[in-house]
């Protein structure tokens, strides 16, 4: 491997950094692309390899193959295609379920190169696939995006590239009817039909645009992350010809994610500047949210950032990395220089403190974070490194951060629940578009429970209740239909049901 002879002790002696961090190799792999850990056991690491394998690394250093998606599912490795990233379910310890983003073969369904978001778990016959979401991406093999991350609200966030080609020729970044060039938010429930729901609060669920879209105007948000301390989302968006950028969406409250409906500007803007080849349909500059930081491709000198493609990282929350604590780590794929910046603390603020950390990795393709908040960097050459401070990280004091919906609730905390169902109707030609909102009261003990939507007495959809014990369903109908909501855990003696509501066919009174 390219980095096999790289010295482990790379001290920050000359570049203005004060972290005294070193890079400790945890192993060599075949084209690694991402690293994460069991949410409940930080010493159980999982390395995703681009061709489609997931390798488990235990605390003693033993390595074993955990899953192999290569035989028929993953299309690799033309241009940027392959396994893109993985996310372990919050209840991974009991279910063994993980989610994967990858470009698929025709055998995976659809066209070669389509983006697939699937769940996988070990079954009696081996690895079991549970398809969640498929996004067309067959035209170009680049700009796939592909980061998966569970947010502090318990929902699954997905980044997608603009579909490839120079300058976003299809205009996907600004098109709210496309899932490309976006950050998406869904509520996955594998093994059911449909396989995911739309969380309450998705900004375009009740207006023009795809329900799954959380934010848009992105070129290739290859990596994004959430700050473990405050829930802020930070995105590293790969630029076109001139600028690389970092975007930040501050969390509005504990357990909530910011950035809903935000337009980051591509392909009208690149970094802080108007994109020279922007289409004439671009709105004014005031319609966009600027990045908090960008840097050029040409070397400005003075040790400042430059390169060709940003690799976004994580805000460091490992106390053993005291000189890096609270700073956002990132790198550039071409330059290889590991850098950090201090994120602005006020809305609309900009980065004023960016520095090199005096560490260099050949072709850094990803960062990672385990459930002890230790951070990692992945070299496309094959080595995965852990950032190491002056003293070992104390994982006994850093419990995993799990979504509230996974917290156990005792039977005494549950009260008999009322299930309320409300329907809003919108005419679409010969169809009615229905927005069905379920609310459970009292809420105590039921947040995170699954609620069913029934049509004509048959279950048609299932979702989790959010923190306010609501769930929203979207359906279409052109005929008389009856709907009812059911909460299986509504009371100790059986489920709770809503009243039955009747929707008449279009044209009826």
The 10s digit of each residue's pLDDT in 266-309 is 999 999 999 999 999 998 888 999 999 999 999 999 999 999 99
pLDDT above 70 for 10: no
Say which residue the tokens 């947010």 belong to. Answer: 151
Please state the domain count of the chain: 2
Q: Are residues 65 and 205 in the same domain?
A: yes
Q: Are residues 194 and 302 in the same domain?
A: yes
Please give the Cα distance from 394 to 321 (Å, whole number): 11
Which of 82-96, 270-284, 312-326, 433-447 has the lowest average pLDDT? Answer: 433-447
**Domain membership of residue 177 as a residue range:** 27-314
Q: Are residues 202 and 53 in the same domain?
A: yes
Residue 460 included in any domain: yes
Residue 217 included in any domain: yes
Q: Are residues 417 and 269 in the same domain?
A: no
Residue at which a domain ends, from 250, 284, 314: 314
Residue at which a domain ends, from 271, 286, 314: 314
pLDDT above 90 for 499: no
CA distances from 300 to 57, 76, 127 (A): 40, 36, 49
Q: Are residues 419 and 296 in the same domain?
A: no
Residue 236 included in any domain: yes
Q: Are residues 195 and 58 in the same domain?
A: yes
Do 38 and 93 form a contact (C-beta atoms < 8 A)?
yes
Tell me, what CATH number does 102's domain have? 2.120.10.30
Name the DSSP class of 344. P
Q: Are residues 277 and 146 in the same domain?
A: yes
Helix (H) or strand (E) holding 92: helix 92-95
pLDDT above 90 for 433: no
Residue 397 included in any domain: no
Q: Are residues 298 and 443 in the same domain?
A: no
Please give the Cα distance from 330 to 312 (Å, whole number): 5
C-alpha torsion 442→445→450→455, nearest 10? -20
Residue 319 included in any domain: no
Which of 112-116, 177-181, 430-434 has the lowest average pLDDT? Answer: 430-434
Q: Are residues 132 and 280 in the same domain?
A: yes
Residue 389 included in any domain: no
Q: Are residues 97 and 208 in the same domain?
A: yes
Region 83-95: what's the mean pLDDT? 94
Residue 150 included in any domain: yes
Residue at which a domain ends, from 296, 314, 332: 314
pLDDT above 60 for 374: yes
Tell me, what CATH number does 460's domain have? 2.60.40.10
Residue 426 included in any domain: yes
| Mean pLDDT over the full length of the chain | 88
């Amino acid at each position: 491997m390219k980095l096999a002879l790289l010295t482990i002790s790379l001290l920050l002696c000359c570049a203005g950094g004060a972290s005294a961090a070193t890079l400790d190799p945890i192993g060599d792999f075949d084209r690694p692309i991402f690293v994460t850990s069991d949410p409940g056991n930080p010493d159980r690491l999982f390395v995703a390899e681009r061709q489609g394998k997931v390798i488990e690394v235990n605390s003693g250093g033993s390595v074993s193959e955990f899953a192999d998606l290569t035989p028929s599912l993953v299309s690799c490795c033309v241009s940027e295609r392959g396994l893109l990233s993985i996310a372990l379910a919050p209840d991974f310890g009991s279910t063994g379920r993980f989610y994967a983003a990858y470009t698929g073969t025709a055998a995976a369904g659809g066209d070669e190169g389509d983006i697939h978001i699937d769940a996988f778990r070990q079954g009696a016959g081996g690895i079991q696939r549970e398809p969640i979401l498929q996004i067309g991406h067959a035209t170009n093999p680049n700009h796939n995006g592909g980061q998966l991350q569970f947010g502090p609200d318990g929902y699954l966030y997905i980044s997608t590239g603009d579909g490839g080609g120079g300058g976003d020729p299809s205009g996907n970044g600004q098109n709210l009817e496309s899932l490309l060039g976006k950050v998406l938010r869904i509520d996955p429930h594998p093994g059911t039909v449909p396989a995911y729901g739309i969380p309450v609060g998705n900004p375009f669920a009740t207006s023009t645009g795809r329900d799954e879209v959380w934010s848009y105007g992105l070129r290739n948000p290859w990596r994004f992350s959430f700050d473990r301390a405050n829930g802020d989302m930070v995105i590293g968006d790969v630029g076109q010809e001139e600028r690389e950028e970092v975007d930040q969406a501050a969390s509005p409250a504990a357990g909530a994610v910011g950035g809903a409906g935000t337009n980051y500007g591509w392909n009208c803007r690149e970094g802080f500047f108007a994109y020279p080849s922007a289409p004439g349909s671009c709105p004014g500059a005031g319609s966009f949210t600027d990045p908090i930081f960008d840097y050029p491709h040409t070397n400005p000198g003075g040790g400042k950032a430059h390169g060709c493609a940003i690799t976004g990282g994580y805000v460091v929350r490992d106390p053993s990395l005291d000189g890096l604590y609270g700073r956002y780590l990132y790198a550039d794929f071409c330059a290889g220089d590991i850098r950090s910046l201090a994120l602005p603390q006020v809305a609309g603020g900009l980065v004023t403190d960016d520095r090199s950390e005096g560490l260099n990795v050949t072709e850094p393709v990803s960062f990672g974070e385990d459930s002890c908040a230790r951070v990692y960097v992945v070299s496309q050459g094959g080595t995965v490194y852990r950032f190491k401070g002056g003293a070992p990280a104390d994982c006994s004091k850093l419990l995993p951060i799990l979504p509230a919906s996974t917290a156990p609730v005792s039977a005494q905390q549950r009260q008999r629940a009322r299930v309320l169902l409300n329907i809003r109707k919108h005419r679409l030609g010969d169809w009615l578009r229905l927005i069905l909102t379920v609310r459970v009261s009292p809420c105590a003990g039921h947040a995170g429970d699954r609620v069913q939507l029934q049509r004509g007495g048959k279950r048609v959809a299932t979702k989790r209740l959010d923190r306010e014990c609501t769930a929203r369903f979207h359906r279409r109908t052109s005929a008389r239909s009856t709907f009812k909501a059911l909460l299986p855990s509504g009371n100790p003696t059986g489920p709770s049901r809503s009243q039955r509501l009747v929707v008449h066919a279009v044209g009826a009174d």
